[in-house]
Amino acid sequence: MATDWLGSVVSIDCGLTLGVYQGEVSSVDHASQTISLRQPYHNGVRCPVPEVTFSAMDIKELKFLDIQNRGNKLSSVQGAATGASVMTSGHHSQSSRVTHPQVTSSSSHSSTAPITILRRAPAGSSNSRGTTQATQKKTSVRNGGVAGLMRQKDDECFGDGTDEDLDTDFDFEGNLALFDKAAVFSQIDGTNSHSTRAQQHSRQDEQKAQTYRHDENILEGKPITYRQISVPQHGGKEYCTDSGLVVPSIPYELHKRLLAAAERQGLTLERRLETIGICSCQMALTLLGGPNRLTPKNVHQRPTVVILCGPHIQGAQGISCGRHLANHDVEVILFLPNFLKMQETVTSEVTLFSRTSGKQVATVKDLPTSPVDLLINCLDCHENHLLREQSWYQTAADWANSNRAPVLSIDPAVSEQCQNIEAKWTLSLGLPLPLAETESRVYLCDIGIPKLVFQEVGISYHSPFGCKFVIPLHPA
C-alpha cells in the first residue's frame, strides 16, 4: 500500500546534477510515478520549501533511513516484493517508475534482490550505535563499495539534526554591537574607582613618553660643539667633517713640531710609517672597488697600482702603502730611482717591499704603457723643493699625466702652488696643511698622535675621526 510508506524517512540520490535529498515521505503517486518529501534536506542543507516532489526518471538510488511501524511493514514488504528493489548497487535507467508500495526499476536487476533498510541508532545508546554502524558499513560495501560507504558517512553527518537555515549569512556587525565593552571592563575593574583608573592612564602615558627607539638618546646631552679643535697658529684654511666638526689647517712648521713631539713621546718614525701605510692602503683598496673587486672569484682581474716614490720620508710612506697593497693581492709596481742617495728609512722600507710579490722599477720606460687602476704619488718632499727640477722627476710626472689613471697623493708638499701631477684624492696626516686650491678631494688620516702630545705644542684637540681612521674633509 502506498499509504504504508507515508511518514518514513528516505534518502533519494538524483545524481551529480540534482544531488541527494532526505526527508519524510508525504505522498506516493503510482499513476504519475512521483514521490513527495516533506521537510526536505538537500545535500545536508535544509530546503527553503516545505515539500519536494520527484519523478521516477530522476531517481538514481533510494534508501530508507527510518520506517514507521517497522515490524509490521517488513513482513508485508517481504511478502509483496515480486521484483522491485528499493536500493541496488547498479545504475538505474532513465525509465524507472514509482510503484506501490516501493519504487521499481525497469532495468535487468534480479527480482529477488533483497530490500535494504538503513536505520539510525537511537540517541544515547552506544551499543546499538555500534551495531547499527557495523550493519551500515557491511550494507554500504555490498551495495555501493567504498563510494556507498562514503555517502553513508555524509548522510550521518549532514542528513538531519539541524533546524537552522544555513543559507543565512551570520551578522558579524550586529553580533559585535551586542557586546558592551565598557560594561565588561567595568565588571573586570570591579572596585576600581574613576580616580584610580585615571591614575592608571596617566601612568601608562608616562611610560609611553619614556619609550625610546634604538637610535634615540636616552639621556639628554649637552649641545654639540662643532669647533672642538683650536690651534695657536692657523694655516689659513678650515675644513669640516661629514658630521659638521670643524678641522682647521696648520702651517708646516707647527706640523713639524707636532711630529717631533710625538717622536719624543715614543711615536717613532717607523711607527708612523706603518700606520700611514695601513691607512693609505685601506683607502686605496676602497678606491679600487673594495669587496666588489678583491674577491677569490676575481683573481683574473687583479687591480694594478703604480706608486711613484722619491728618496725621502714621503717616498717611504708610499713604499709602506705598496707593501700592504701587495699583501692584499694587488699587483704593485714601485717606481724608485736607484741612482739617488736614499735615507736609511727608505732603504728599510725597500727591503721589506722586496719580500712581497710587488715589482720595483728604476726607470720610466719599465712602467706600463697601458692605463692602470690607480696611481699613488709620493714624489714630492716638504724639505727639498728642487727635486721637481730634475729630469727623472719631470719624466715620471709626464708619464703619470699621460697614463690617464686616477691619482691619490699622500702627504703632498705645501709649497706646491702648481701641481705637476693633478691628484683626484689627497691624504693629509694628523691635521691638514693649507694646500693649494685644486679640485682634489681632501681626506684626513689618523696617525695615532695622543691628545697630550697635541697639548704639548699648544693645540686643543678632540678627535674628529669617530669610528674611522680615514675621514673626508670638506671646505668650510
Residue 410 has pLDDT above 70, yes or no: yes
User: What band does 89 get if pLDDT is binned at 50, 70 and 90?
Assistant: very low
CA-closest candidate to residue 339, choices 409, 260, 392: 392
CA distance 472 to 247: 11
pLDDT of res. 44: 84
Which is higher by pLDDT, 327 or 33? 327
User: What band does 350 get if pLDDT is binned at 50, 70 and 90?
Assistant: very high
User: What band does 63 get if pLDDT is binned at 50, 70 and 90?
Assistant: confident
pLDDT tens digit string along 307-335? 999 999 999 999 999 999 999 999 999 99
If you average pLDDT over every residue of the chain, what do you get? Answer: 78
Domains and CATH numbers, the chain: 2-158 (2.30.30.100), 238-475 (3.40.50.10260)
User: What band does 8 get if pLDDT is binned at 50, 70 and 90?
Assistant: confident
CA distance 309 to 92: 105
Q: How far is CA 48 from the centre of its chain?
A: 52
SS3 of the chain: the string is CHHHHCCCEEEEECHHHHCEEEEEEEEEECCCCEEEEEEEEECCEECCCCEEEEEHHHCCEEEEEECCCHHHHHHHHHHHCCCCCCCCCCCCCCCCEECCCCEECCCCCCCCCCCCECCCCCCCCHHHHHHHHHHHHHHHHHHHHHHHHHHHHHHHHHCCCCCCCCCCCCCHHHHHHCCCHHHHHHHHHCCCCHHHHHHHHHHHHHHHHCCCCCCCCCCCCCCCCCCCCECCCCCCCEEECCCCCEEECCCHHHHHHHHHHHHHCCCCHHHHHHHHHHHHHHHHHHHCCHHHCCCHHHHHHCCEEEEEECCCHHHHHHHHHHHHHHHCCCEEEEECCCCCCCCHHHHHHHHHHCCCCCEEECCHHHCCCCCCCEEEEECCCCCCHHHHHCHHHHHHHHHHHHHCCCEEEECCCCCCCCCCCCCCEEEEECCCCCCCCCCCEEEEECCCCCHHHHHHCCCECCCCCCCCCEEEEEEC
pLDDT tens digit string along 439-462? 899 999 999 999 999 999 999 999
User: What band does 436 get if pLDDT is binned at 50, 70 and 90?
Assistant: confident
pLDDT tens digit string along 141-155? 445 555 666 666 666
Q: Rounded mean pLDDT of 427-433?
A: 95
CA distance 386 to 459: 32
- For CA atoms 142, 147, 153, 159, give the dihedral sign: negative
pLDDT of res. 196: 61
pLDDT tens digit string along 251-297? 999 999 999 999 999 999 999 999 999 999 999 999 999 888 888 88
Which is higher by pLDDT, 172 or 392? 392
Q: Rounded mean pLDDT of 109-122?
A: 36
User: What band does 110 get if pLDDT is binned at 50, 70 and 90?
Assistant: very low
